[in-house]
A and B are shown apart, each in its own frame.
Chain A
Amino acid sequence: KAGVTQTPRYLIKTRGQQVTLSCSPISGHRSVSWYQQTPGQGLQFLFEYFSETQRNKGNFPGRFSGRQFSNSRSEMNVSTLELGDSALYLCASSYRTGPDTEAFFGQGTRLTVV
């Protein structure tokens, strides 16, 4: 079956703008988590959505937000972009939420802020 699909693959934005990234999880999966990957900070957890509810949130400013739709697709939004927001944004799909749940990643969206 199809894997995790993230769109777009690449984005270039200007400081101060906002951006919306999209993630379609594996069919039947109800949990979507978002991560930021940078050379300096590595992979950092942003937030998780399960059944349209935010389940958990990482240590990121309020400029980073997300939501999940009834079909489990998720979007994340970053407002007032800063140069430091340049990163690979990864979405992970899981069947459920809770202990020892496997997570499968998409290919990511490469965001460059200029």
Chain B
Amino acid sequence: GENVEQHPSTLSVQEGDSAVIKCTYSDSASNYFPWYKQELGKGPQLIIDIRSNVGEKKDQRIAVTLNKTAKHFSLHITETQPEDSAVYFCAASDGAAGNKLTFGGGTRVLVKP
């Protein structure tokens, strides 16, 4: 089955700096890669996603890149703000297994003011 590795597990950045989280996946059939942000006491919130026919996608201060050949994808957050502090999860789905998502282990991001 699919396996998703996520790095780093923790990330501390100064407010205004950029943050990058990287994920690798094992199943070449995977074609959908969402990113979730989870704040304390809440469920994961979908923040951005990318499909296999796209190499990069941006939404204001966040962007995601996908390299299907290398089987890795990354989340980039620019101009970080204290409210970006949370745990971020990457995930992968191949569609053949319905809506099943395989998640990475998570990255705890701390933005220091």
Contacts and interface: CB of A to CB of B under 8 A. Distances in A.
B45 A100 contact: no
Nearest to B43: A105
Given A99-B32, A101-B32, A103-B34, A94 B46 contact: no
Interface string A87-103: 00010101001111111
A72 interface: no
> Most chain-B CB neighbours within 10 Å: which of A4, A43, A102, A107?
A43
Chain B interface size, under 10 / 10 to 19 / 20 to 34 / 35 or more: 20 to 34
Interface string A40-60: 001111001010000110100
Given A105-B45, A106-B43, A45 B32 contact: no
B79 to A, nearest CB: 26
B37 to A, nearest CB: 11
A31 interface: yes
Q: Which 5 A-B pairs have the closest CB atoms?
A: A99-B95, A105-B43, A100-B32, A55-B98, A43-B103
Interface of A: 4, 6, 31, 33, 35, 42-45, 48, 50, 55-56, 58, 90, 92, 94, 97-108
Interface of B: 31-32, 34, 36, 41-46, 49, 51, 89, 91, 93-95, 97-106
